[in-house]
Structure 1
């Protein structure tokens, strides 16, 4: 799966890593629903850090379509709330 972090580029994520990313996404959703800025910020950074850690960066000149687009680390809680789908940022 190709994932783009806005402002950073694209990474390839293995299917086996989606479970842990979904767990982090659930924490992020809960923080947004509770309107808890501190937990939101921590959960967003944990999710993005994990994507960076498990993802294999694509070349800067690669033009692959992104299957998921994640917000930048400095996104506000309202910006991320607008990006949430029925299954969070990461479906599954």
Structure 2
């Protein structure tokens, strides 16, 4: 059986560990400090280009595979209709 003194010692140790963790910078904070505005702009441009590619694919999909598109629309409609 655990005594009250042992529990108090464990709580004190856990509080000390929390205080130490609060003093240390988190990995996100140290990474954010390392990011340069130029690198951020390059990442934003790359993400924008990828988004445009995805949007182009979505716009062309009904023309490339009309039967699959129609079946997908039917399936979505059926599932939405059954959800009530």
TM-score, L = length of structure 1? 0.24
| Larger Rg over CA atoms | 2
Relative to total residues, which structure has the larger strand share, 1 or 2?
Answer: 1
Report which of the two has the higher share of helix. 2
Structure of greater relative contact order (alpha carbons < 8 Å, 6+ residues apart): 1
